Amino acid sequence: MECAEYEKMFLLEGSYWWFVGRRDIISVMLEKAVGRGGPPAILEVGCGTGGNLDLLERFGWTAGVDLPEALAWCVKRKAGRLIASRAEALACRPGAFDIVVCLDVLEHIDDDIGATREMYRACRPGGHLLLTVPAYNFLWSEHDEALGHRRRYDRKQLEEVVVGAGFKPLRLCYAITFLFLPILLFRFGQRVLGWFRPKARPAVAYIQMPKVISALFVSLLRFEAWLLKRFDLPFGVSLVCLAEKPSMTRERLSENHSD
């Protein structure tokens, strides 16, 4: 991601409806991952400018990992524990974390399975992985290009990545469902306009809404989070996955059974 995009993210993460509403959805999924023991050790892979670290701190001891140019913005935010590292080669010991969180990061990485295997290594046996990624290739737009995305995912593709890395999916469903149609129409409109205007540098689609509309969007995503406590949503702009790293006992039993 370019430095200019980090600055936009830094300025918007606290108030923009997408980031605010997504944190409500993440909270619901984290509640399912946090056990009844002591506070878990949580690693956020690709923490960006640190906008989610305060939320994660509510659930346990938290560290964020990203490239130095991103962590510079985390320092401005006065975020806590930070690790300069690539997702494909995490600078931590095996099994160091109870929960590994990766929010809209995999789509930036060429070797997404390799990066997820690194998260598997960082996660303790019996620990959890929480992922979000953008959904559906037909929603591809210049927003994706500006952010340096390599792909968008469908449910099967994300499941293959998670299982291929060794995790067992516990929950894999779509989110940002109620805003799917307006986002689809907006992306389609962008595509049509692109046919008639000169080719320009791709730009992100963070559009500042009137406060009433922004509050409505946040309320819709908050309602989605409430629904996700009860059942899966059938489609959406994003995919959410909660997965478990099998305990050593179950891994050995599985290996013995396969022998």
Q: What one-character-per-residue DSSP string does 167-178 give?
A: -EEEEEEEE--T
- Please, is 52 exposed, middle or buried when counting C-beta atoms within 10 Å of its C-beta (0-12, 13-18, 19+)? buried
As a whole number of angstroms, the distance between CA 123 and CA 97 comes to: 5
Angle at 136 between CA 134 and CA 137, to 5 degrees: 105
- Domains along the chain with CATH numbers: 3-247 (3.40.50.150)
Query: Is 31 in contact with 135 (CB distance < 8 Å)?
Result: no
| Closest C-alpha among 59, 32, 63, 165 to residue 106 | 165
pLDDT of residue 189: 80
Distance CA 154, CA 159 (A): 9
Ramachandran angles phi, psi of 216, nearest 5°: -65, -45
Virtual torsion, Cα 113, 118, 124, 130, nearest 10 deg: -50
User: Which two three-digit tokens encode residue 222?
Assistant: 């908050």
Please state, in angstroms and rounded to a whole number, the distance separating the CA atoms of residues 63 and 2. Answer: 23
Closest Cα partner for 104 from 131, 139, 67, 68?
Answer: 131
Report residues of the chain scoring pLDDT below 70: 1-3, 36-37, 193-203, 205, 248-259
Q: Residue 170, exposed/middle/buried by CB under 10 A (0-12, 13-18, 19+)?
A: middle
Distance between CA atoms of residues 102 and 30, nearest Å = 12
Q: What residues form DSSP beta bridges with 240?
A: 132, 173
Q: Which DSSP category does 96 fall into? A: -
User: What is the reported pLDDT for 38?
Assistant: 72
The pLDDT of residue 196 is: 55
* CB contact burial 85-103 (16+ within 10 A = b; e otherwise): bebeebebeebbbbbbbbb
Strands 168-175 and 238-244: antiparallel
**From the CB of residue 67, how many other CB atoms can be counted at a distance below 10 Å?**
15
**pLDDT score recorded for residue 17:** 92
Residue 36, C-beta contacts closer than 8 angstroms, at least 6 positions apart:
none
Structure confidence at residue 257 (pLDDT) = 47
> Beta partners for 63?
43, 81
Q: How many CB atoms lie within 10 A of CB 107?
A: 17
Per-residue pLDDT at 253 = 45
The model's pTM is 0.89
